[in-house]
Structure 1
């Protein structure tokens, strides 16, 4: 109780601008905490939707060389699956993933970007020139 009364007496003597800045900083911390909590709660849903797309690629799992899963963005709000395949073509991966309602855009002959509007999942398929590997990046927006 003595601590609170000391803080209260200091705030009573402080000018309005100092009180305003302190309030603004506290509001910022509260907002950042809320965004972090929201990202933490939504992460299992994001992973589940990405796993559905990854399961469609099970037929070519024999060609899988590496697999990465990581979160990025502010407070880890965007979750990404990155799989690398060797010995398979870009069109084969596109055909497997095209079973869903995906709109495709060709950036280059070796780079395709698809977007599923229902689940808000971005799919990026890249053919590496040096290694001839196919890199599939599945990214779930908030």
Structure 2
């Protein structure tokens, strides 16, 4: 499952291979030696500043993998009337689904890997939202 277990080093290595960027360019851009880069490929997680640099170098938003994980696997935020939103950090709504998430879910349903009910239960996607995606899919394919 693409978003359940994230091994960021493997994703980075895959993108490096696709991009065909030389190890020399990578080392120069990151300010690290070849050994350090290899260690990053084998790391399940890396520092966010370093991940930002990889995202820029490889022109790919690696943070989206984590956002997708949160959308699919984090429980919905508990509603607490005493809880105040902070003006100091940005607030993002959980129910904004990226195109990648929609495609991931639709593929699981259309392939028969999961039923609509299983998707609703597993990922806490509202039934009406899922039906809207299915209708759009039918309209595009029909």
**Normalising by the residue count of structure 1, what TM-score does the alignment of the two structures yield?**
0.24
As a proportion of its length, which structure holds more strand? 1
Q: Which entry has the higher C-alpha Rg, 1 or 2?
A: 1
As a proportion of its length, which structure holds more helix? 2
**Normalising by the residue count of structure 2, what TM-score does the alignment of the two structures yield?**
0.24
